[in-house]
Chains A and B, each alone.
Chain A
C-alpha cells in the first residue's frame, strides 16, 4: 500500500521490472499504478520523485535529469510523467536533450482535465485554484503548511485573495474526498466546484507508450 507521506517526501523506488520506466511525480503514483492495473501494463515499471518537488519547481528539471541518467542503462525507454510543472520550458528542453518524452501541457490539472479542454476554459477559469485527489488528501502538506497558514491564517487573503473558486478535479469517485475538498474550499474562503476528470490525458499518453 502506497503511503502518501512517503510519496510526498521520498518518492517511490523502481522495482526493476519491464523494459519501460515511467518516471513520475509522486503526486501521480496512485493514478499511474491504477492505470497499469486496469490496462495490464505490466511491462511498465514506475519510479517517482518526491511530490514535494512541486513546491520548488526550479528543482524539478535537475531531479528529472539525475533520475533519467541513473535509470537509463536498465530500461529500453523512459517516459517522464511530468508536464511543464512551472519549469518555464526548461524541463521540456532537458527532456529533448536527454532524448526522452514527457507529458504535454502546463501541469497535472491540465492533463487530468484534458489539455485541450483545459486550455479552452482557461480564459473563464483563471481565477480557479485546482486540487486533484492527491492534493485533496495532502492539502495540509502541499498548501496549508507551506503557505504558512497553520501559523499565520491572516496570510490567507494575501495569498488566495485573487482566487474565486476551488475546482476539485476528481480522478476517482470517493465521497470522503469530496467532503474533504469542500472543507479545503471553505478553509481557503473559495467557492467549491466539483469536476470528475478520471485520468484524462494521462491514460491516453501512457497508452501511446504501452
Chain B
C-alpha cells in the first residue's frame, strides 16, 4: 500500500494524513505512526479521536485483510507494533482527557499455554475501543482468573488458547465460576486458532470470537445489552 515517493506527513491535510496513517499501519511503520500522532495532537485533535479514527480505523483494515487471508501473522504483528507506538503516546493523554470508558475486561491465555499474539491483539483493540484491559499474560490457572475478576470486577472475561490440548481448560474456568455462583456476573468471550463456535457453546462461553475485530464488536454488543438490561430495571 505504500508509495515509493517520500511523503512529508506534516504537509498533509488532516483527512489525507489519516489515510496515510492507515497505509503506514498497514505497512507496520511505527516511527511514521508516532510522528503522525504527534502531528495530529499538535493540530488539537482529541487523543480519543486520534485513537478511534486513525489508529483503530487503520487496524480494522488490517484485521479485515487478516481475516480474508490477504495479510498474515507477521504483517499483523508489525501493524500491531506500529499501533502500540501510537497508543504509547496517547494512553496517558487519554486518561487526562477523560476519554469515554466503554467497559472493563480481564484477559489471559489459559494454563499450559504460552501463546499470546492473538490475546495481545485483542487486548490492544479492546483498549482502542475504549475498554480498560487487565492483561493476565500467559499460563493462567483458574485461581488467577478468579482472583483477577474478584479484584478487578470486570464486565468481561476473555480467555485465549492456541493448542488443542489447552483449550479444554477454558471449561475448567467456566465450570468453577458456575460452582461459585458467579458465572452470570460476567460476559465470557473465548478465542484462539483451534476454537470454533460449537466449542464456545459447548463449554458455556457467551461467545467465540474468531479475531480481534469480532472480539471488539461482540464485547460492545454485550455491553450495550447490559446497559439496556440495567436501564430496564
CB of B193 closer than 8 Å to a CB of A = yes
- A-contact 0/1 string along B180-214, CB 8 Å cutoff: 00000000000001111001000000000000000
Is the Cβ of B194 less than 8 Å from the Cβ of A148? no
User: In whole angstroms, how far apart are the Cα atoms of A87 and B194 in the complex?
Assistant: 5
Does more than half of chain B's interface fall in helix, strand or loop, or is it mixed?
A: loop
Q: A158 vs B139: C-alpha distance in the bound complex, in angstroms?
A: 16
Q: Which of B72, B113, B116, B194 contacts A146 (CB 8 A)?
A: B72
Docked-complex contact A158 and B196, CB < 8 angstroms? no
Interface flag for B115 (CB, 8 Å): yes
The residues of B that contact A58 with a CB separation of less than 8 Å are 193
Q: Give bound CA distance, A123 to B74, whole Å.
A: 29
Say yes or no: is B138 at the interface (Cβ < 8 Å to chain A).
yes
Tally of B interface residues using CB under 8 Å:
26
**Contact of B199 with A89 in the complex, beta carbons under 8 Å:** yes
Does A189 make an interface contact (CB < 8 A)?
no
Is there a chain B Cβ closer than 8 Å to A88's Cβ? Answer: yes
Neighbouring B residues of A148 by C-beta, 8 Å: 72-75, 77-78
> Is A159 among interface residues, defined by CB-CB distance under 8 A?
yes
B174 an interface residue at 8 Å Cβ cutoff?
Answer: no
Assess the B114–A127 pair: CB atoms within 8 A. Answer: yes
B72 touching A88 by the CB < 8 A rule? Answer: no
In the assembled complex, A33 has its CB within 8 A of some CB on chain B: no
Is B77 a contact of A162 with CB atoms below 8 Å? no
Q: Give the docked Cα–Cα distance between A123 and B112 (Å).
A: 7
Are A126 and B114 touching (Cβ within 8 A)?
Answer: yes
Q: Does B163 contact A (CB under 8 A)?
A: yes
With A122-B112, A126-B114, A147-B73 known as contacts, the answer to whether A86 contacts B164 (CB < 8 A) is yes
Query: Which A residues, 134 to 165, have Cβ-Cβ distances below 8 Å to chain B?
Result: 146-149, 151-152, 155, 158-159, 162-163
Partner of A152, one of B74, B163, B196: B74
Q: In the complex, which residues 151-167 of chain B have their Cβ closer than 8 Å to any Cβ of chain A?
A: 163-167
Contacting pair A162 B164 (CB below 8 A): no
CA distance A156 to B18 in the complex (A): 30
What's the least CB distance linking B28 to chain A, in Å?
8
8 Å CB contact of A106 from B74, B75, B81, B164: B164
Q: Nearest Cβ distance between residue B97 and chain A, in whole angstroms?
A: 30
Q: Using Cβ atoms and an 8 Å threshold, which residues of chain B touch A155?
A: 74, 77-78
In the assembled complex, A90 has its CB within 8 A of some CB on chain B: yes
Tell me whether B114 and A88 are in contact (CB under 8 A): no
Contact B193 A163 (CB under 8 A): no
- Closest residue of chain B to A107 (Cβ to Cβ) is B164
With contacts A127-B114, A148-B78, A158-B77 known, what are 11 further pairs, Cβ within 8 A?
A86-B193, A88-B195, A88-B199, A89-B164, A106-B164, A122-B112, A126-B113, A126-B166, A148-B75, A152-B78, A162-B116
Could you tell me which B residues sit within 8 Å of A by CB distance?
28, 72-75, 77-78, 81, 112-117, 138-139, 163-167, 193-196, 199
**A-B CB contact pairs (8 Å), 26 listed:** A57-B193, A84-B164, A86-B164, A86-B194, A87-B194, A88-B164, A88-B167, A88-B194, A88-B195, A90-B196, A107-B164, A119-B165, A122-B165, A126-B114, A127-B114, A146-B74, A148-B73, A148-B75, A148-B77, A148-B78, A158-B77, A159-B77, A159-B117, A162-B114, A162-B116, A162-B138
